[in-house]
């Protein structure tokens, strides 16, 4: 299992523990035979409490009680509650995000079908119980800890956007794979197809599976055909410029013929 990049075990955070808890001096007291949880198990226990009660409502005492672990051990690993919170959240994000290989495996020759499949996976992931709990928790705490949102983008949104931009370049770019607004298209896909559903669910709106499926299909169709129509409009603009150039050239040729005719007449005289 991976250790979260939001915090390193054993490194105290910059904030003091909001609970007023502090490491206990002297040797740690443990009941004989009590097992020591792995670091991943501790983070999972902590996250459950943070998700249930929020950051302020969760104490180190509650975490150690749920984990069956001495407070001294928790402090030795993380130093304070803030650092433990970031580590637990980072681990949860890493476990929750959709691997790019899974998205890539959904690609087909039909580009619209590809986008529908990818959209369905991303929407289902964000609407899952784990996704909604993480979304609500990060939204609640990101104002106080903006680094949470930054980490979320770095771990999940950033790689997904990069993959989508590459997908648009490969499917809609020219022969050399160039598509100037591929990054904007990727962002629009996440915002239109996934973001609206995530926001509605985070605010507690009931999500009907059939309505969600219709939303995905409608949004993909609008986005894809909007991009294709944009290319048609650009081609149309190029055609108009070409016609104007041809018209100007014909006028210039007519003028040149008139001058040649006049010069020939003058030469005969």
pLDDT value of residue 1: 41
Instruction: Tell whether domain 1-19+34-96 is in CATH 1.10.3720.10.
Output: no
CB within 8 Å of 250: residues ≥ 6 apart: none
Over the stretch 118-136, which tens digit does the pLDDT of each residue have? Answer: 999 999 988 888 888 888 7
Nearest-CA neighbor of 7 among 74, 65, 54? 74
CATH 1.10.357.10 location in the chain: 99-230
User: Does residue 74 carry a pLDDT above 70?
Assistant: yes
pLDDT: which is higher, 262 or 145: 145
CA–CA separation, 13 and 103 (whole Å): 36
CATH superfamily of 99-230: Tetracycline Repressor, domain 2 (1.10.357.10)
Q: How far apart are CA 180 and CA 197, in angstroms?
A: 28
3-state secondary structure of 42: helix
Least confident of 36-45, 87-96, 234-243: 234-243
Categorize the per-residue pLDDT at 113 as very low, low, confident or very high, splitting at 50, 70 and 90.
Answer: very high
Q: DSSP characters for 99-144?
A: PHHHHHTT--S-HHHHHHHHHHHHHHHHHSHHHHHHHHHHHHHTTT
* Helix (H/G/I), strand (E/B), else coil: 97: coil
Average pLDDT, the chain: 76
List Cβ neighbours of 56 (8 Å cut-off, separation of 6 or more): 18
- Beta carbons of 28 and 72 less than 8 angstroms apart: yes
Q: What percent of the chain has pLDDT above 90?
A: 24
pLDDT surpasses 50 at 87: yes
pLDDT of residue 165: 95
pLDDT tens sequence across 138-162: 777 777 787 777 777 677 788 999 9
Where is average pLDDT lowest: 1-5, 108-112, 186-190?
A: 1-5
- For residue 223, what pLDDT band results from cuts at 50, 70 and 90? confident
Q: Write out the DSSP string of 255-266.
A: HHHHHHHHHHHH
Question: Dihedrals φ, ψ of 225, to 5°?
Answer: -70, -25
pTM value? 0.64
Q: Where are the beta strands (DSSP E) in 43-102?
A: none
Q: What is the pLDDT of residue 142?
A: 75
Percent with pLDDT over 70 in the chain: 68
The residue with greater pLDDT, 263 or 188, is: 188
For the segment 229-245, the average pLDDT, to the nearest whole number, is: 54
Reported as a single tens digit per residue, the pLDDT across 191-219 is 888 887 777 776 677 778 888 898 889 88
CA distances from 259 to 74, 116, 266 (A): 95, 63, 11
First to last CA, the chain: 99
Residues of the chain with CATH 1.10.10.60: 1-19+34-96
């Amino acid at each position: 299992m991976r250790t979260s990049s939001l915090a390193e075990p054993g490194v105290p955070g910059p904030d003091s523990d909001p609970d007023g808890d502090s490491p206990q001096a002297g040797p740690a007291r443990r009941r004989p035979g009590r097992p020591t949880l792995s670091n991943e198990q501790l983070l999972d226990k902590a996250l459950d409490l943070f998700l249930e009660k929020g950051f302020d409502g969760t104490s180190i005492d509650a975490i150690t009680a749920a984990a069956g672990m001495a407070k001294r051990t928790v402090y030795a690993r993380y130093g304070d509650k803030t650092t433990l919170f970031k580590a637990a959240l980072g681990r949860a994000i890493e476990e929750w995000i959709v691997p790019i290989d899974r998205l890539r495996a959904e690609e087909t020759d039909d580009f619209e079908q590809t986008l529908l499949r990818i959209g369905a996976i991303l929407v289902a992931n964000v609407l899952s119980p784990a996704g909604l709990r993480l979304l609500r928790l990060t939204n609640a705490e990101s104002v106080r800890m903006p680094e949470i949102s930054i980490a979320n983008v770095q771990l999940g949104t950033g790689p997904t956007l990069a993959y989508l931009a590459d997908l648009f370049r490969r499917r809609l770019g020219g022969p050399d794979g160039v598509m100037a607004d591929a990054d904007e298209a990727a962002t629009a896909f996440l915002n239109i197809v996934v973001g609206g559903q995530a926001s509605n669910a985070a605010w507690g709106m009931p999500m009907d599976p059939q309505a969600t499926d219709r939303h995905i299909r409608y949004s993909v169709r609008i986005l894809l055909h909007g991009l294709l129509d944009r290319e048609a409009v650009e081609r149309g603009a190029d055609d108009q410029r070409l016609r104007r150039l041809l018209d100007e050239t014909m006028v210039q040729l007519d003028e040149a013929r008139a001058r040649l005719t006049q010069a020939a007449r003058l030469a005969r005289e």
